[in-house]
Amino acid sequence: MRTLRRTLRQFGHDALLITHPPHVRYLTGFTGSNGWLLLRRGSAVFLTDPRYREQAALEVTCATVRVISGQTFTAALGEMKLARFLNSMGFEADHLPFTIVGNLKNMLRPLRLRPLSGMVEKLREIKTADEITAVRKAIRISEQAFRDTLPSLCPGVTETAIAVELSMRQRQLGADGDAFPPIVLFGKRSSLVHGQPCNTRLPRRGPVLIDFGCRVNGYGSDITRTLHVGRPTAAFRNAYDIVAEAQRIGCSSVRAGIPTDELDHRVRKHIREAGLGTYFEHGLGHGIGLEMHEAPLLSWRNTASLESGQLITIEPGVYLPGTFGIRIEDDLLVRENGATILTTLTRKLQVL
């Protein structure tokens, strides 16, 4: 929080209100679902409700804990008479609802509220050793759960059954839970980029796309593999080879200092020159950590450069509507002169 306090001084604010749950957890260690952090230059106050009285006392050691009962956090801040000793307070404009901002303005007048963006997000981009360890453990659990689930991919099994089994195995292996609801898609449904599993049954011949991850101490893994049941068609195998090579190009190009749009361009160029550029419409990847889609965004829309210590995904894909989809996704740790690929599952086409 020292960096945030320096930022407050830099922008001339007296306080900062943190309300986004992942940011609250990052700064305080609080793992509950309801808490606000009021950060001032010389002190910090954490607000929560009676459900978390004991938990907050155990987890939050960097701030004074105030348990708010019978009123909203907004009203509680109003009663603190902050305008007596503060002139302005920044708030997380990207995360605080408009109605709450309006209520805060009314409660805290004449204190000036200033919308701020990206302050905590920037801090979270560079991961500590403990954060990297948590993600590594999440990856190991997800990979083992995936291997243990593969024998269940027999003709007739449903997408939902595989998704449930994968989730269960991750929990049994020590995960906090899923990082996100697993995506399990069979046959032509694999072209749905973020389709959700249903009661579609696995055919005797066809593709299987599985996008999955779990959390350990709040930090998540994010992995995608595309398999094939029975003999693949020539078109599928050709497309798979194109995506696999594009993914290899992406992983081998990662290093601190490379602009994210350039990285995206290198991968997209290979897919485009192979004739499938029309079918790759999403970004190349994203940061991972307490959230599954956090900074940095790896896309043609982002010109920021990668930095050592970031955790990212590389996940090119092609999706031919009503035919098949292919995506290969790995988790990487950015280093000065390259990257460490943290995932170990094979990227070769697995035919079941």
Q: Domain range holding 245? A: 126-341
> What's the CA gap between 226 and 219, in Å, rounded?
24
> What's the CA gap between 134 and 127, in Å, rounded?
10
What is each CA distance from 261 to 86, 106, 289, 290, in whole angstroms? 41, 43, 21, 24
- The reply to whether 50 and 81 lie within a common domain is yes
- CB distance 298 to 263 below 8 Å: yes
- The reply to whether 186 and 265 lie within a common domain is yes
Residue 13 binned pLDDT confidence (cut-offs 50, 70, 90)? confident
Q: What is the CA radius of gyration of the chain?
A: 23
Mean pLDDT computed over 102-122: 92
- The reply to whether 36 and 136 lie within a common domain is no
Residue 5 binned pLDDT confidence (cut-offs 50, 70, 90)? low
CA atoms within 13 A on the CB side of 30: 33
The pLDDT assigned to 41 comes to 81
First to last CA, the chain: 50
Tell how far CA 96 is from the center of its chain: 19
Question: What is the chain's mean pLDDT, rounded?
Answer: 95
- The reply to whether 67 and 130 lie within a common domain is no
- CB distance 49 to 75 below 8 Å: no
On the question of pLDDT at 115 being above 80, the answer is yes
Mean pLDDT computed over 155-173: 98
Backbone angles phi, psi at 327, to 5 degrees: -145, 140
- The reply to whether 199 and 314 lie within a common domain is yes
- Residue from 251, 158, 159 nearest 212 by CA: 159
> What digits encode the pLDDT tens for the residues 247-295?
999 999 999 999 999 999 999 999 999 999 999 999 999 999 999 999 9
351 inside domain: no
Token duo for residue 122 = 């920037």
Residues in the chain: 352
Coil, helix or strand at residue 121: helix
> What digits encode the pLDDT tens for the residues 69-80?
999 999 999 999
Question: At 163, which CATH number?
Answer: 3.90.230.10
The pLDDT assigned to 3 comes to 65
- The reply to whether 292 and 155 lie within a common domain is yes
Number of domains in the chain: 2
**At which of 82, 100, 124 does a domain end?**
124
> What digits encode the pLDDT tens for the residues 14-50?
899 999 999 999 999 999 999 999 998 888 999 999 9
347 inside domain: no
> What's the CA gap between 352 and 344, in Å, rounded?
19
What is each CA distance from 321 to 11, 158, 279, in whole angstroms? 49, 21, 9
Residue 83 binned pLDDT confidence (cut-offs 50, 70, 90)? confident
> What's the CA gap between 5 and 345, in Å, rounded?
42
Backbone angles phi, psi at 64, to 5 degrees: -75, 125
The pLDDT assigned to 323 comes to 97
Q: Across 19-170, where does the E strand assignment appear? A: 35-40, 44-48, 64-67, 88-92, 112-116
**At which of 93, 124, 155 does a domain end?**
124
Question: At 114, which CATH number?
Answer: 3.40.350.10
> What digits encode the pLDDT tens for the residues 200-238?
999 999 999 999 999 999 999 999 999 999 999 999 999
Question: Residue written as tokens 């798979």?
Answer: 240
- CB distance 145 to 170 below 8 Å: yes
Token duo for residue 95 = 């995360």
What is each CA distance from 180 to 95, 146, 171, 293, 325, in whole angstroms? 20, 15, 13, 11, 20
| Helix 260-273 and helix 234-253, axial crossing angle in degrees, nearest 10 | 160
Backbone angles phi, psi at 186, to 5 degrees: -110, 150
Backbone angles phi, psi at 163, to 5 degrees: -60, -45
